[in-house]
Amino acid sequence: MLIRRPPDIETSEITDEKLYWNRREFIRSATGVVAGLATPSVLAACGEPRRAEAAERRAARDDELTPYEDVTSYNNFYEFGTDKRDPSRYAGSLRIRPWTVTVEGEVHKPGVWDIDDVLKLSPLEERVYRLRCVEAWSMVIPWQGFSLSEFIKRVEPTSHARFVAFYTLHDPEQMPGQRRRILDWPYVEGLRLDEAMHPLTLLTFGLYGRTLPNQNGAPIRLVIPWKYGFKSIKSIVRVRFLREQPVNTWQAEAAREYGFYANVNPNVDHPRWSQARERRIGEFRKRPTLMFNGYADQVGHMYAGMDLRRNF
């Protein structure tokens, strides 16, 4: 379960990421369970336990966790401003209770879900995922949540559902960045249904063992680790199941620069910069960008036969 702590806890009282990582290593060696994995029953139900386990072992071995202070103070969340520090400065205005998520479109069970009922759908798991942003910076974060598929199965998509669209809250009173016409609000993202159902697609409620901070997308967001960060939509209030592919916000804003798929691909440059290398936050050196952000073994089959330069 997700351990909730008072929102005013001092940064100095948060477990240092190195101690946190060492504790995870101890638990893993003592129990034989790889920290950061979904439970075997969930992954087995999705048919890919071995691939997911191998990926998370590699992540645990090769990646240092990004410090909590960086994860929560260096963010893209234009609803609170365009500077990377703006979300941590201004997101305190966001009220995360009460909060509901509306489900509509091609589903047998449309309706309105209270966030606390969503939280009860499945036990929260910890998963260490890389998050790679289109600006060529990345983080490694211990997220808390469960596979989005657990939620999707409860609302029962119809046979016509092929895509899923997600919508961020639109409320300029709470989100001062929306007072400016930076983007066409509300923020919209979309996935193919098979991408949404993949066991690595995480419905996220927390990080570092704490409730998800406002600036990181509270109270509910997606994390899709093989795609660029703008696909991992924050502060979700509506989910719509569709027959046709939706147009996501950045695709509508600049289709030449941001496609629908947004799979991490070192071979496809952004028109204004290379995507071949990335800088991990907290490091000075750059490292090679991995195909599908290092998750190619698990997700590559979904794009077999596709022209990934055209379908970027």
DSSP string, 189-250: EEEEHHHHHSTT-EEEEEETTEEPPGGGTTT-EEE-TTBBGGGS--SEEEEEEESSPPPPHH
- Predicted confidence at residue 26, as pLDDT, reads 38
Contacts of 246 (CB under 8 A, 6+ apart): 163, 165, 188, 190, 240
Mind listing the pLDDT tens digit of every residue in the chain (312 residues)? 333 333 333 433 444 555 555 545 533 433 333 333 333 333 333 334 344 444 444 444 468 999 999 999 999 999 999 999 999 999 999 999 999 999 999 999 999 999 999 999 999 999 999 999 999 999 999 999 999 999 999 999 999 999 999 999 999 999 999 999 999 999 999 999 999 999 999 999 999 999 999 999 999 999 999 999 999 999 999 999 999 999 999 999 999 999 999 999 999 999 999 999 999 999 999 999 999 999 999 999 999 999 999 999
Token pair belonging to 256 = 């030449």
Q: Is residue 17 part of a domain?
A: no
- Predicted confidence at residue 4, as pLDDT, reads 37
Q: Is residue 5 part of a domain?
A: no
Q: Is residue 2 part of a domain?
A: no
- From residue 81, how far is each of 7, 21, 77, 177, 223 by CA, in Å? 22, 32, 7, 5, 21
CATH number of the domain residue 181 falls in: 3.90.420.10
In this prediction the pTM is 0.83
DSSP string, 250-280: HHHH-TTT--SS-B--TTS-BTTB--SEEEE
- Predicted confidence at residue 22, as pLDDT, reads 53
Burial bucket for residue 265 (CB in 10 Å: 0-12, 13-18, 19+): buried
Q: Is residue 84 part of a domain?
A: yes
| Residue-range definition of the domain harbouring residue 288 | 28-303
Our count of domains for the chain comes to: 1
Q: Is residue 124 part of a domain?
A: yes
Tell me, rounded to whole angstroms, the distance of Cα 305 from its chain centroid: 26
Q: Is residue 217 part of a domain?
A: yes
Q: Is residue 214 part of a domain?
A: yes
Q: Is residue 185 part of a domain?
A: yes
- Predicted confidence at residue 63, as pLDDT, reads 83
**Residue 245 near residue 117, CB atoms below 8 Å:** no
